[in-house]
Structure 1
Amino acid sequence: MSPSRRSLAALVVTGAALLLSACDGGGEDAAPTTAEPTAADRLEQARGVLVDAGSVHLALTGTDLPEDESSYIISAVGEGTMEPPAFTGTITARLAGIQADVPTVALDGELWVKLPFAPAHVRTDPADLGVPDPATLFDPEAGLVGLLPQTQDPQFGQRARAGAETVQEVTGTLPGETVTDLLLAGDASSPFDVTYALVEESWQVRTVEITGPFYPPATSTYTVTLDSYGAPVTVTRP
């Protein structure tokens, strides 16, 4: 056989071998792999869902709150928007030792409350009441949304039914300073435990449960429930 024919035969054999290898799946390393989402991935996904919603209904409840504190939030219910951060609803708080339901509007860094026996809302400073500005809870960077990416060592917890929904828990810890900056309560030097309940498939944050030294030395818990994602919300000055 001439050199040119031997070269042509070698090319044919080599091409056939490559074709057979491709047909029988010989390249195992080339097979695509799909990694399962981590707990951190799910928190990031949930963060995006919450930011994209733009508005949400909120219910907050506190448990194991110390009776000897003179001013703190017991519960709150209302709705808010993220652009701009705003809230309208009712806050149940202990103010100077007296428990009261306080209709509240927060918008553009201003706070209006209707105190017991007052005929109308009055503008006030949150610091004067010893409570955080509730509008900050809806800030797309520094509010509740901002807690998710700051969660340390997130791990998957239980899967459970919550009414008609299936939720996946994600547990972790939050730096004390992150919590105290948001809620204006707590020991900034101590970490707080946090548990998120994320609705499977939609990955909405349904609840955020934060436990730690809000009023040291006691250990207290605040639970925030979020729903009605994207529902129309209008917040106006009283």
Structure 2
Amino acid sequence: MGFRRIRARHALVGVVALTAAATTACSSDDRAPAEDLPAAPALVDEAAEAARGIDSAHVTLDVEGSLPGVPVRSIEGDLTGEGEAVGTGTLEQAGQLVEVEFVLTADTLYLKGPTGQHQEIPAAFASSVYDPSAILDPEGGIAGLLTDLRRPRTLAAEEVSGTPAYKLGGTLPPETLSGLLPGVDSGADVTFWVRSDDSRMPVRASAEFDGGATVDITLSGVNEPVTVEAPA
């Protein structure tokens, strides 16, 4: 998942992320007939190219159900394509849910639990944590998921929070999914929603695993200014 600026992967202990979603997809009652829908291969290529051009976004990620090896339960924050991020997350530790604030700058991850101050984690120790900005990685983030989508098909024309979109379905192998969710050891059925206008920008992704666990990622505020500053 090479970033524009190569960073340590997996920066944010169980906080995310990748990436789900405070914003949910709302299906339109008026679905376009199948013959009016664009072909899936071209739509996937266009959406992947659009995703590689994302410089910043507000991202939410939600995990529902039990997903072995993945302690992340939710994340919400502002991310940049340069590998910086600021936001909040929830993770499960020893059967308990813990809320965390995070700030990820060029060289340091700052974490703050329910009490106390931010703790600094140097990049050298980032192998034990997860990096939410991986979601915008032009190779292995949302763009990478689209590129690796197997058996793609265009399912419907729907709306996501009022945004007209095409709904795409397919499957992804574990080696692709583990880039965003370290610890995942199985593939999943995956659904993407991409804008139906010329931008073809992805707005939501949802993965369903064996056993019923789901992971939802929603993008909004794409390419709007994001400022990330180290806490005082």
* CA–CA distance in structure 2, aligned partners of residues 184 and 147 of structure 1: 14
The offset of 1:178, in angstroms, is 1.0
CA contact (8 A) 2:53 2:138 kept: no
* CA–CA distance in structure 1, aligned partners of residues 110 and 181 of structure 2: 18
Q: What does residue 47 of structure 1 align with? A: 48
Q: What does residue 179 of structure 1 align with? A: 177
Relative contact order, higher structure (CA 8 A, sep 6+): 2
CA contact (8 A) 1:60 1:77 kept: yes
Deviations 1:25-47 (A, max 9, x none): xxxxxxxxxxx852121122112
CA contact (8 A) 2:52 2:139 kept: no
Q: What does residue 71 of structure 2 align with? A: 72
Q: Structure 1 residues 70 and 203 mapped into 2: Cα distance closer, same or farther (>3 Å)? A: closer
The offset of 1:85, in angstroms, is 1.7
TM-score by length of 1: 0.72
* Structure 1: gaps spanning 5 or more residues: 1-35
The offset of 1:138, in angstroms, is 2.0
* CA–CA distance in structure 2, aligned partners of residues 111 and 235 of structure 1: 11
Residue among 156, 159, 168 paired with 1:158: 156
Deviations 1:75-128 (A, max 9, x none): 11011111x122111011112332122111223464221122122233264554
* Structure 2: gaps spanning 5 or more residues: 1-36
Residue identity in the other structure for 1:181: G
**Structure with greater helix percent:** 1
* CA–CA distance in structure 1, aligned partners of residues 77 and 42 of structure 2: 29
* CA–CA distance in structure 1, aligned partners of residues 118 and 161 of structure 2: 39
RMSD: 2.2
**Partner of 2:77: helix, strand, or coil?**
strand
* CA–CA distance in structure 2, aligned partners of residues 71 and 174 of structure 1: 17
Q: Which has the larger radius of gyration?
A: 1
Q: Structure 1 residues 182 and 53 mapped into 2: Cα distance closer, same or farther (>3 Å)? A: closer
The offset of 1:141, in angstroms, is 1.4
Q: Structure 1 residues 179 and 163 mapped into 2: Cα distance closer, same or farther (>3 Å)? A: closer
Q: How does 1:33-112 map to 2 (within 5 A)?
A: 37-65=38-66, 72-82=71-81, 84-108=82-106, 110-112=108-110
Is 2:209 the partner of 1:212?
A: yes
Q: Structure 1 residues 95 and 122 mapped into 2: Cα distance closer, same or farther (>3 Å)? A: farther
**Partner of 1:182: helix, strand, or coil?**
coil
Deviations 1:185-222 (A, max 9, x none): 221xx321110011211322111001215xxxx44111
CA contact (8 A) 1:156 1:169 kept: yes
Give the number of aligned pairs.
192
TM-score by length of 2: 0.74
* CA–CA distance in structure 1, aligned partners of residues 180 and 160 of structure 2: 27
CA contact (8 A) 1:206 1:226 kept: yes
